[in-house]
A and B are shown apart, each in its own frame.
Chain A
Amino acid sequence: MTFSQPHVARASDPIEELYQAHALTLTRFALLLVGDKATAEDVVQDAFLGLSRNWDGLREQSGVFAYLRTAVLNGSRSVLRTRARRLRHVQHEPPAWSAEAAVLDREDQRELLVAVAGLPRRQREVLALKFYLDLGEEEIARTLRVSRGTVSSTASRALTALARLLEEEQ
């Protein structure tokens, strides 16, 4: 739960500057992970709250975006865990992702994203980091704290599974 109020912007506030620079990309990244806009915005706000609490501990400012990326990833995982727990008690709840995917004009893109939503969590994360944020395997490995080989094999398995699903649908 986040206790927060509107941030009072100051010209020299580095966190405010980082927010202005990265909030859009991070919210879009979170959207790919959690599937709905409102939750994605909350996840990003929480990531920046975490950043402001840990600001003094972050010695290298070059690592700040990596910190935020990881915080968004962890926040999204937490949201998905809570959702999964809730779904055990609720019989019929439409998947969050289908609502956002419905805005797509192209049917094939909608189908592709619904297929992605059916992949295991790690595969979805690797795909979003690789094909939305355009990160290399080394950086994805650091973000997910796994080996580079795991990233490579996870991406390969995910793409093969998607290609197979799409082939079956045609």
Chain B
Amino acid sequence: MTEPPVNGTSDRLRDAYHAVVEAVQPEDIGDLRSPLPLPRTAGSARWIRRLTPLAAAAAVVLAVGAAAETGSARLRCR
């Protein structure tokens, strides 16, 4: 079986593409839309997400410090 010629097809395709895209004319292009500002809660949520690990780390430091303090207080009592 012989392969059909593709050179003619690529030229025809290029022509067809350039013809069909004429459906979009410069005057069809609307203004650029800009994003609406995000609701305040979304910004707050982002800060909460960022602060949560810091708060957890601070809690661990406090707990370790308190435990160490309690341990040394017991030693002093003995």
Contact = CB atoms under 8 A, between A and B. Distances in A.
Interface of A: 2-9, 15-16, 19, 23-24, 27-29, 31-32, 37, 40-41, 45, 48-49, 52-53, 100-101, 103-106, 108-109, 112-113, 116, 127-128, 131-132, 156, 159-160, 162-164, 166-167
A145 B73 CA distance: 64
A52 B35 contact: yes
B19 to A, nearest CB: 6
Given A131-B10, A160-B6, A162-B13, A2 B20 contact: no
Contacts of A5: 33-34, 36
Contacts, number: 113
Contact of B29 (A23, A103, A108): A23
A160 B13 contact: no
28 contacts: A5-B36, A6-B33, A15-B32, A16-B32, A24-B24, A28-B24, A31-B23, A40-B24, A45-B30, A45-B32, A49-B33, A104-B16, A104-B19, A109-B12, A109-B16, A109-B20, A112-B13, A131-B10, A131-B13, A131-B14, A159-B6, A159-B10, A162-B9, A162-B13, A163-B5, A163-B9, A164-B4, A166-B12
Contacts of B33: 2, 4-7, 45, 48-49
Interface string B23-54: 11010111111111000000000000000000
A112 B36 contact: no
A24 B29 CA distance: 7
Given A4-B33, A4-B35, A8-B34, 7 more contacts: A5-B33, A5-B36, A7-B33, A41-B28, A103-B23, A104-B20, A109-B20
Contact of B16 (A4, A48, A113): A113
A50 to B, nearest CB: 10
Contacts of B74: none
Nearest to A130: B10
Contacts of A7: 31-34
A156 B18 CA distance: 20
A22 B12 CA distance: 25
